[in-house]
Structures are given as C-alpha cells and as structure tokens.
Structure 1
Amino acid sequence: MTAVTGGFGLLLPEERADAAALVRQGFGIPREYFDRSVELFGPDVMRGLRAGPETGHAGRLVACAAVWPMDQWFGGRPVPSCGVAAVAVDPAERGRGYGTALMRGLLEEARAGGAALSVLYPATLPVYTRLGFGRGGVSFDWSAPPAALSDGPPPADGWVRRADASDASPLAALRRTLLTTTNGLVERNEGLWSFALCPDGAPSDVYTLGGAGGPEGYIAVVPPADRKLTVADLCLLSPRAVRLAQSFLAGYRAQVDRVSWRGGPDDALVLLAPERGVRVDACDDWLLRILDLPRALESRGYPPGVSGELVLDVSDALIPENSGCFRLRLCGGTASVRSLPRGPDSAPKAGGRTDEAVLSLSIAALASLYSGHKGPHALRQVGLLRGGEDAVALAALFFSGPTPWMPDRF
C-alpha cells in the first residue's frame, strides 16, 4: 500500500518524545540513550514523517530517522556521504509504505545537500535493496582468551602511555593514517567519537602506543566486567604497535577469560595471534547507496598505476540522473566521468568505437563494486553484472584495494 503522507522534514521539538518512543519500540533503545545521541549529534540530526489528512490522524508522527553528513574513505580519499540510523516506523502503521517514504525523503535531501553516498546498518534488507542500497562492507566482532594474543614480553623499544579520553584530537590524527590506507572507514564527528570512546556513556581507559619516533597507535578499553574485557576502540599503525597491544591485552589474563574487539576481516590482532582461540562472534554487513554517480566515482581514489576507460550502463529506479551510460576514465589515481547518449537500440553510443569495455549493472550492484566489497567476477557469477572479459578485468583493476570494513555501528 502506498503511504499518504503529511510531510517529511526536520523533527519538531514537540515531536521528540514521540520519536523516542518509536525508536524504543523499534530497537529497544531506552529514552536516556536516545536523548544522549541527539545531544551529541545535535537536534538537526532527526527527521520525521507525518501522516496525511486522509489517514484520520493528520500530522501525527509515524516514522523517524537520524541522518548526518560525514566523509567515508575509499581509495585513500574522502567521499561526501550521509550516515543514516534509527529508522523507525510506528508498529501500528507498518506495511503502509511509511518507511520507504521516509527513506526517499532522506536520500533526496542528502543528494541535494551534496552527499555522493549514503551508508547504514540495516535492520531488514528488502526495504533498502528496493531503494538501491547494496552491500558495501563488513564489521566483525572478534574475541579471544587474553593468553592467545601474546606469547612473550612487549617490544623493548616500545611504550604504552595513558591518554585523555575526553580529547580525541590526537587519536583522530593517528586514525587519519588508517583512513587513507583502508576502505570504508568514516571520518568521525564528535558524536561518533563519543560512541567509540564512551560506549556506555562513561569514558573508557585510553592508551597510546609507540616508540622512539612517537605514537604509532592507540587502544581504548572498558573496565573489565563479568570476566570479560571489551576493547572500545583501537588503531594500530605499525608491527610494534600491534605487539604492544597484544601484550597489553594479554596482561589481563588474571582478570578476564575473554577479550572482545571490533575490526575487519584482515584484523592485525588476528593475523599476529600466536595461539589458537581467536574467533568471530558476529559479522554485520553495512549497506551503501550511491546518490550522485558522477560525484561518487570522481571523489574516491583509485590505484595510481591503473589507467583506462570503462563504460558503465547503470539502472536506478529511484534517482533518474544515475540511470544511463557513463564513461569512467582513470589516470594517475583519479577519475573523470562523462555521460554518454544512448542509441536507438538503447545501447550506449560509443562515438563510433567498437572496442568499448562495457559493464551493465544496477545502482545497488555498483555500490558493492564501488566499495570493493564484491569484485566484478563475483557479481557477474550471480547475475548482478553483465560484461565481457576485458570489461570485467578492467573493472577488477579499477576497484581493487583493501576489503572495506567499518567498526562504527549506528
């Protein structure tokens, strides 16, 4: 059923309690956590959808969500994006299309505001896949007995020093190096830093790790509870920092039975763990939506040694400007994009060329290719992409790089 709506827009102050109730009903999030989030991100983060007059309760809030601007890094460059969280619909009004209408409003607003991408963690897949979201990357929950993380003393040339959890500036400077060498990490604002370092509202214990040349990473831990130690956040930029972190965590072997942390598929602590016992407790997919195709492709970075041209024949049922044929030209790690006209047979007009490398795919499949979460061979194997061997091989080079991951959950 198509929703009849009375309006999408900023959440009004008098609607805050109603929005908090929707979020509690949808996700079990208590009011104090909702209020803390709004205070950290600012009141302008919330959007609402109201019922129309035809429903009999005109103007009543029936759906809400949080949305904020941020940069997400791909290929060593920041791409203007918007994060979306806490998408909640009144349980009595579900199935009427309100969630879709709310998301349409969010995406249109974000695109108009300059965002090239939108990213979220889905509570359900069908709604978002219909809106053009594709799987963009992963977030792993790892855990291990502390003794499994280290089998020797810390590096003699390293140090571990306590830091101030209320000042994220030096930590952000360290983390920026990580942003440029991985795919999918987001540039944290004050709210995301607070969630990372104070996951339960109370500051975690933060330590920087380094050597003679200065800091090479940091680790933040929540005080042990119930024989468990939770790593709230970590950034390890060198082998020495990894070994220091391993020794630091192994030092809790008398107090805890298990250490847990959030990371990616190629997690440094896992790669260098000397003993068995490390396991994956959870793996969540996050979704990516390309809002402005030319801007998204031109904003991200690419392998510097790769050059060439690839034609993308893209379908997007929600944003017409993203549908059509686009020539992606790559040179020196940067891209340029030009829209191509279609011929009478709906095929891209290649200016008389017959050697064009052409890929045909949906905007959702392009999101997975764009982030590097799924390569063109895997997408073609399951029918999400069509193209010849030359085009697929070229796309594999264009979008090669580290597997995208993101520890922040929202």
Structure 2
Amino acid sequence: MVIARPFRPEDEADVVRMRKVAFGNQSPDWATPASTWWGVVAEDGDGVCGSLRAWNYRQFFGGVAVPMAGVASVTVDPHARGRGVAGALLVKSLERMRAEGQVVSTLFAATPPLYRAYGWERVGALETVTLPPAAFGWVAKPGEPTPLRRAREADLAEVHQLYLDIASTVDGMLDRSGPLFDITKILTLDTVDVVDGLRGFCSSSRRPHSETLDVYDIVARDADAGRALLAALATWSGQVDQICLRRFDPLIWDLLLSLPGHHTTAVEPIMLRIVDFAAAVAARGWPEGLPDFAVDLDIADEHAPWNAGKHRLVHESGKTRLEAGGDGEVRMTARALAAWYAGAATIADLNRAGLADGRAPLLDLASRAPRRLSIADSY
C-alpha cells in the first residue's frame, strides 16, 4: 500500500538518492522547507519511494498575478514504478495546494499522459530560439543610435518594474516576486544592458566552453529601445556562433525581430491544472468590455472533488464570479477546465476532443481562446 504524506527533513537522503537516479543530479536543499516551497513524499512497505516538490509562484492571467504551485522534481523509485506512486503524490499535493491558497498549478511534463490523467493539460510553452548574431543586424535603426549602458544596482527596481509592466500583459509569465527571486542576482550575469531612460533591458551570459550567448530577457517599452537592444546583439558576430533567447516580449518577438526562414526553436511544453475553481475565477483578471453573461457548467473532477458538480459562471458589471448551482449546460472535465481557463483551446475543440460537451461562445470570449501561454522561467 502506498501512502503520501508531507515531506520531513529526515526524508532528505531518500529524496536525494531518488533524484540522482531519476535526473542524474542531486538537490541538497530539501532539508530546509521554507516559504518558497513545500514537499510531499510517498511511502510503501520498504520506506520512502517517491517525492514531489511544489514551488510558491505567482503567474499572470488577465494582468493579475495568480497564486500558483509550480510542480517539480516528481520522482518514483524504480522498484515502485507502475504502482500508482506518482498518482498518490499528485492527489495529495492537490489537497496541500488548496490549503496553501495556490489556486492553479503548472508543471513541465516529461510524461504528459501521467499528468493528464490527474487533470493537468497542455496550455503553452517556454520557447527558446537560436539564431546567428547576423540575424539581429536586420533591425533597422533610423536616426541616431539609441545609447545603452551597463545596469547598476540603483537601476534594479526600475528594471523589475519594466519586467512586470510587460510580463503582466502575457498570460503565463511569472511575476518574479517574493523570496524565490533576488533581483540583485541579475548583476552576476555577464551583461545587463539598459536603454537610456530605462526604456528597455537585455540580460545575457556567455555559455561556458561554448560559442553560444544565452539571452535571458530582452524587454522594451518602445520600438526604438527594442531596436537598440536587438542591434547590440548583432555586435557579437565573430565572438559567438549563435545566440539563444527566450520568447517573451511581444514587441520584440512579433513586431521587431525578423526571424529567418530557417531557424531552431526549442519548445518545453507547460501544463496547467485548476486547483480551486471558484478561487481561480476570483483571482484572475478578465478581458475588459465583456458583455454580462451567465453560463451553467457541470464539472467532472474526481481528484479535486471540491471542484466537481454544477456551477454558474457569472460576469456582471465588469466582475466575474462562480456560483454553485445551475443546470449544467456545458459539461467539462478537469483537463477541459484547465485549457479553457488558460484560453488554450476553444469550447468547440474541447468538444471534439471529448473533454467537454456543450456550446457557449461567451466562454471563448472570456478566456480569449484560442491562444497559447508563454513562460520565460523554468523550474
């Protein structure tokens, strides 16, 4: 019999051993749970046989940072695989997430079928594009060059605020606040260039023993600042063979950067689950200008039964709320609920997938489907 329970410091040796087998590395920080994370382990008759860690993050939806549990380090001892250990960890973690007020959960899934079975669904990705430095020289810069300079410690608050201003417009981005994120660490990177007037910044480091420059963030308030940052990357020609940067700022990616016809994109899919439906509806932002509406839902969620049953989603006078009751006009599984909340799929597509049953066009309007979440942080 497998039992899942909270992680205790004395479990560290077992967790480190399992992580070494599963991921080829060790994590020495499991002995000191803090406000940044909590853990769950599974036990069978032979002792600890599985573990899971959940990070305390806040993720933007509709311009509002929503409390999110970032699931990571899910491990199962080889001898215990195929016996429901991972499932026991996930079910136990959902109870803890709800108690912690983490109304949604996301994860990077090595085995998507496992997580789909427990209500997570693919909604977006962390995308990294690799380009030669010359590709950045295609950016036109009319007039005088926009000056750049090295960031200083006194700039950090404004740098973070610039990140927040842009990240809040991109559903899926983390707000990088709280003890998990130390803004001063950005200054340990090889380069952190800011545009005059702190209208943009670009952070990067040369990859050790490689001809690659890794760009972590490139963010701009206006086109001139964006062009200046992109043009600066072109000056790496002759020093590196390629530049890897993460997709994030729509101004940079969709309107300024000219991607060549052939380029390499690495995609790390991210999956989402609704932990507490009513709280998740209340926590996020919703599009401005939505007409008043009410849609009756019938949710099937065996692993988070507090979400299950009939609900009425009501948008009235610019506010959205979830009420108990209704006639269950639209039926949705936990996977469909996640995809709808994120706007990753239309109700029609969820119907075709067998994950939902019903018709409610206003649900698509509310979640701005179809689109994909973007995230620029891995965990």
Using structure 2 for the length normalisation, give the TM-score. Answer: 0.89
Deviation at 1:197, TM superposition (A): 6.0
User: What code does the residue aligned with 1:385 have?
Assistant: A
Alpha-carbon distance in structure 2 between the residues aligned to 1:249 and 1:40: 40
Paired residue for 2:216, among 227, 232, 242? 232
Residue by residue over 1:122-150, the C-alpha shift from the partner in whole angstroms, topping out at 9 and shown as x without a partner, is: 11112211111111221111111111122
Is 2:357 aligned against 1:361?
A: no
What is the count of residue pairs matched by the alignment? Answer: 375
User: What code does the residue aligned with 2:270 have?
Assistant: W
Any conservation in 1 of the 2:159–2:198 contact (CA below 8 Å)? Answer: no
Paired residue for 1:403, among 367, 372, 375? 372
Alpha-carbon distance in structure 2 between the residues aligned to 1:126 and 1:230: 31
Paired residue for 1:116, among 96, 103, 114? 103
Q: 1:47 to 1:136 in 2, by over 3 A?
A: same
Deviation at 1:68, TM superposition (A): 2.4
Q: 1:242 to 1:41 in 2, by over 3 A?
A: farther
% identical equivalent positions: 27
Is 2:15 aligned against 1:24?
A: no
User: What code does the residue aligned with 1:76 have?
Assistant: G
User: What code does the residue aligned with 2:364 have?
Assistant: A
**Unaligned residue ranges in structure 2 (runs of 5+):** none
Equivalent residue for 1:292? 276
Equivalent residue for 2:129? 142
Any conservation in 1 of the 2:12–2:31 contact (CA below 8 Å)? Answer: no
Is 2:19 aligned against 1:9?
A: no
Alpha-carbon distance in structure 1 between the residues aligned to 2:257 and 2:57: 34
Please give the residue correspondences for 1:1-400 in structure 2 after superposition, counting only pairs within 5 Å: 3-5=1-3, 7-12=4-9, 14-29=10-25, 31=26, 34-35=27-28, 42=34, 45-52=37-44, 55=45, 57=46, 60-151=47-138, 154=141, 156=144, 158-164=146-152, 169-189=157-177, 193=181, 203-211=188-196, 214-223=197-206, 225-264=209-248, 268-269=252-253, 271-274=255-258, 276=260, 279-307=263-291, 308-340=293-325, 347-348=327-328, 358-388=329-359, 391=360, 393-400=361-368
Residue by residue over 1:376-408, the C-alpha shift from the partner in whole angstroms, topping out at 9 and shown as x without a partner, is: 2322333322223xx1x2112111176311011
Alpha-carbon distance in structure 2 between the residues aligned to 1:168 and 1:84: 29
User: What code does the residue aligned with 2:85 have?
Assistant: Y
Residue by residue over 1:187-229, the C-alpha shift from the partner in whole angstroms, topping out at 9 and shown as x without a partner, is: 224675469967xxx9313424334xx2122211112552211
Alpha-carbon distance in structure 1 between the residues aligned to 2:265 and 2:300: 37
User: What code does the residue aligned with 1:49 have?
Assistant: V
SS of aligned partner of 1:215 = coil
Deviation at 1:258, TM superposition (A): 1.2
Any conservation in 2 of the 1:148–1:250 contact (CA below 8 Å)? Answer: yes
User: What code does the residue aligned with 1:403 have?
Assistant: R
Q: 1:237 to 1:21 in 2, by over 3 A?
A: farther
Q: 1:273 to 1:130 in 2, by over 3 A?
A: same
Q: 1:134 to 1:152 in 2, by over 3 A?
A: closer
SS of aligned partner of 2:20 = helix
Alpha-carbon distance in structure 2 between the residues aligned to 1:208 and 1:303: 34
Alpha-carbon distance in structure 2 between the residues aligned to 1:44 and 1:181: 25
SS of aligned partner of 1:318 = coil
**Unaligned residue ranges in structure 1 (runs of 5+):** 342-346, 349-357
Alpha-carbon distance in structure 1 between the residues aligned to 2:200 and 2:23: 34
SS of aligned partner of 2:339 = helix
Equivalent residue for 1:344? none
